[in-house]
Structure 1
Amino acid sequence: MRPDIVTFWHGPLDALRLLCLRSQVAAGHNVTVYSFDPLAQLPDGVGNAEAEAILPQAFAERLRPTGPDGVWRDWTTLQFSDFFRMRLMARNAGPNNPGLWLDADVLLLKPVELDPAKPYFAWERPRQLGNSVLYLPSSDPIVAAFMALMQQDELTPDWLALRHRLTFALHKLRGSHRPSDIRLAIYGPAALTALARRAGELHHALPKKSFYAVHAEPKLFFEPRDFSALLGDPEIMGFHVSPKGRGNQRPVPGSLHAWAAERFG
Structure 2
Amino acid sequence: MRPDVVTFWHGPLDRLRLTCLRSQVAAGHKVTVYSFEPLAPLPDGVGNAEAEAVLPHAFAEKLRPTGADGVWRDWTTLQFSDFFRMQLMARSAGLWLDADVLLLKPVEIDPAKPYFAWERPRQLGNSVLYLPSGDPIVAAFGALMRQHELTPDWLALRHRLTFALRRLRGSKRLSDIRVAIYGPAALTALARRAGELHYALPRKSFYAVHAEPKLFFEPQDFSALTGDPDIIGFHVSPKGRGNQPPVAGSLYAWAAERFGMG
Match of 1:95 in 2: none
TM score, norm. by length of structure 2: 0.98
| 1:125 equivalenced with 2:120 (yes/no) | yes
Contact 1:21–1:46 (CA<8 Å) still a contact in 2?
Answer: yes
How many angstroms apart in 1 are the aligned matches of 2:61 and 2:227? 45
- In structure 2, which of residues 163, 177, 182 is the aligned counterpart of residue 182 of structure 1? 177
- In structure 2, which of residues 122, 131, 134 is the aligned counterpart of residue 136 of structure 1? 131
1:4 deviates by: 0.2
In structure 1, the residue corresponding to 2:111 is in which secondary structure? coil
Contact 1:102–1:132 (CA<8 Å) still a contact in 2?
Answer: yes
Match of 1:8 in 2: 8
Matched to 1:206, the amino acid is: L
Contact 1:7–1:101 (CA<8 Å) still a contact in 2?
Answer: yes
Match of 1:72 in 2: 72
How many angstroms apart in 2 are the aligned matches of 1:20 and 1:170? 41
How many angstroms apart in 1 are the aligned matches of 2:74 and 2:112? 36
Matched to 2:242, the amino acid is: G
Match of 2:226 in 1: 231
Q: Percent identity?
A: 88
1:114 deviates by: 0.4
1:75 deviates by: 1.5
Contact 2:79–2:179 (CA<8 Å) still a contact in 1?
Answer: no
Match of 1:209 in 2: 204
Matched to 2:46, the amino acid is: V
1:74 deviates by: 4.5
How many angstroms apart in 1 are the aligned matches of 2:168 and 2:223? 53
> Structure 1 residue runs of 4+, over 4 Å off?
none
How many angstroms apart in 2 are the aligned matches of 1:217 and 1:204? 25
Matched residue count: 260
1:207 deviates by: 0.2
Please list, as runs of the form range in 1=range in 2, the aligned pairs for 1:68-217 lying within 5 A after superposition. 68-92=68-92, 99-217=94-212
1:174 deviates by: 1.1
Matched to 2:128, the amino acid is: V
How many angstroms apart in 2 are the aligned matches of 1:184 and 1:106? 20
What is the root-mean-square deviation of aligned Cα atoms in Å? 0.8
In structure 2, the residue corresponding to 1:75 is in which secondary structure? helix
In structure 2, the residue corresponding to 1:48 is in which secondary structure? strand
How many angstroms apart in 2 are the aligned matches of 1:204 and 1:141? 14
In structure 1, the residue corresponding to 2:47 is in which secondary structure? strand
How many angstroms apart in 1 are the aligned matches of 2:211 and 2:75? 20
- In structure 1, which of residues 250, 255, 258 is the aligned counterpart of residue 253 of structure 2? 258
In structure 2, the residue corresponding to 1:129 is in which secondary structure? strand
- CA deviations on 1:21-58 (whole Å, 9 max, x unpaired) are 00000000000000000001100000000000000000
TM score, norm. by length of structure 1: 0.97
Matched to 1:51, the amino acid is: A
1:170 deviates by: 1.3
- CA deviations on 1:199-239 (whole Å, 9 max, x unpaired) are 00000000000000000000000001111011111010000
Matched to 2:105, the amino acid is: K
Unaligned runs of 5+ in 1: 93-97
How many angstroms apart in 2 are the aligned matches of 1:74 and 1:248? 16
User: Compared with structure 1, are the counterparts of its residues 46 and 74 closer, same or farther at alpha carbon in structure 2 (3 Å cutoff)?
Assistant: closer
Unaligned runs of 5+ in 2: none
How many angstroms apart in 1 are the aligned matches of 2:115 and 2:68? 39
User: Compared with structure 1, are the counterparts of its residues 74 and 45 closer, same or farther at alpha carbon in structure 2 (3 Å cutoff)?
Assistant: closer
How many angstroms apart in 1 are the aligned matches of 2:35 and 2:41? 14
How many angstroms apart in 2 are the aligned matches of 1:34 and 1:114? 22
